[in-house]
Amino acid sequence: MDRIISSFRKAASRSVWAYSICVIILALGSYAIGGNVAPKNIFILTWMYLCFIVINTVILSLDGIKSWERLPYLVKRIVAMPFLMGVAVLGIMNLGEIKSNYKTNLAITVVAFGVVYIIASTIGYVFEKKQTDKMNDALMAFQKEIAKEDE
């Protein structure tokens, strides 16, 4: 239970700032085209972020489970993708009130989300990998030093 509560806190703190930014962007966009922010859009956005909080809480709660922890970085990201994609695509399709060419637009949104998500995850991984490569070098040097000390 403690793990779920702490996961919820982490998920909520991550989502809140993203939600705030989205509301600001939505407001600025509406102002730019000379209209008002539709309450329906705010409702959809709130629903999306509540769903993201729930999904992220579940994902973060899995951290204590060894079989989940064993999975590599990118696999974990890909496992989480369909859930995040489902919420994001549903939200975006309703935000934009897309009615004509629904299937085509749905396919475009799904592909766009997938591509952006995979690219973002890959960039994140490459960046993190660079950091850990440096740490591995430092670890090797450190262990050599210990071996010398032991000698």
Partner 1 sequence: MKLFVKEKCDVKETEVEIRCRIRDREVDNLITGIRNAANTILGEKENGDICQVPVVRILYFEAVEGRVFAYLDDEVLKIKNTLYEVEESYANNHFVRISKSAVVNLRTVTNIRPEVGRRVRLELRNREFLIVSKNYVGCLKKALGMKEAR
Stretch that binds partner 1, among 15-23, 32-40, 94-102, 122-130 (CB under 8 A): 122-130
Q: Which range touches partner 1 (CB under 8 A), out of 22-30, 38-46, 110-118, 139-147? A: 139-147
The token duo for 119 is 């690219």
Residue from the set 96, 108, 132, 144 that interacts with partner 1 by CB under 8 A: 132
Size of the site for partner 1 (CB under 8 A): 22
Paired tokens of 110: 């799904």
Residue 2, number of CB atoms within 10 A of its CB: 6
Which span sits near partner 1 by CB under 8 A: 18-26, 30-38, 43-51, 136-144?
A: 136-144
34-93 residues in contact with partner 1 (CB under 8 A) are 60, 63, 69-70, 72-73, 76-77
Q: Which residues bind partner 1 (CB under 8 A)?
A: 60, 63, 69-70, 72-73, 76-77, 125, 128-129, 131-132, 134-136, 138-139, 141-143, 146
